[in-house]
Amino acid sequence: MPGSTKKKMVLLFPNPDNQFVCSQVEEDVAFGPENMGLAPPVIKARVDQALKMVSMEDYRYYSLQMLSGGQKQKAAIAGLLAMKPEYMVWDEPTSMLDPRGQKEVIQALVRLRQQEGLTIILVTHNLEEAINADQVIVLHEGSLALQGTPAEIFSRPDRLKAAGLEAPGISRLIAALNVQLPWTVPADFLKTEDLVEELCRLRLKI
């Protein structure tokens, strides 16, 4: 049924200002549950939980226009979380944010996925944002170009380039190191600290 589908899946826009219908954070987060016909105590509990999930409890009474770009996007995320969807689609959620705002939103994404177990479908051209994904799907000209884990996908820079994408910086660094070093660094390292630890281990073996 169309009604039930809307409750199961929600969409986060690139520009958070296009997501808001109220002027205050708390009021906007409550808008969805109110339109679902929930009782006031249930709405309050959902708003409280949603704001806590994105670390925005201290901003509940703020005007949305007083927030930074990253804070606005997190407020928009809270509004979707308050409706308790089964799936969330984030459409280029950091494309209009500065580096600090981008970091805030991606940290929220990782926390929601790891701690809350939410299913989030992230649409992005920046593969740095896909490092923490379970699965990556690369589309090119409307067709499936690649599918696999981040490590599998990022180890194919040639295929990514053909699709108009660039592998994350750490993957490019590993490729450059493997040209210069006397030993091979595995291509499946996605975090800097893990790569540093592996380089130290390999160095000690010489």
**Matching residue, tokens 């007083």:** 66
CA distance 43 to 154: 42
Task: Check residue 74 and report its DSSP letter.
Answer: H
Q: What is the pLDDT of residue 65?
A: 96
List C-alpha distances in Å: 169 to 39, 155, 157, 196: 48, 12, 11, 14
Task: Report the pLDDT value the prediction gives residue 1, as an integer from 0 to 100.
Answer: 39
The encoded tokens of residue 63 equal 């005007």
Res 21: pLDDT: 95
SS3 96: coil
What per-residue confidence (pLDDT) applies to 181? 76
pLDDT score recorded for residue 2: 44
Give yes or no for a contact between 47 and 26, defined as CB atoms under 8 angstroms apart.
yes
Per-residue pLDDT of the chain (206 residues; tens, 9 = 90+): 344 445 589 999 999 999 999 999 999 999 999 999 999 999 999 999 999 999 999 999 999 999 999 999 999 999 999 999 999 999 999 999 999 999 999 999 999 988 888 899 999 998 889 988 999 999 999 999 999 999 899 888 888 889 999 888 888 888 788 778 777 777 777 777 777 887 887 776 65
- pTM, two decimals, is 0.82
Would strands 9-12 and 143-148 be described as parallel, antiparallel, or unpaired? unpaired
What are 70's two structure tokens? 């990253």
Q: Which residues belong to CATH 3.40.50.300 in the chain?
A: 2-124
pLDDT of 71: 96
The pLDDT of residue 206 = 52
**Which superfamily does CATH assign the domain made up of 2-124 to?**
P-loop containing nucleotide triphosphate hydrolases (3.40.50.300)
What is the C-alpha separation between 29 and 72, in angstroms, rounded?
11
DSSP H helical segments within the chain, as ranges? 2-8, 25-35, 40-53, 69-81, 99-115, 150-154, 157-162, 169-180, 192-204
Q: What is the pLDDT of residue 190?
A: 75
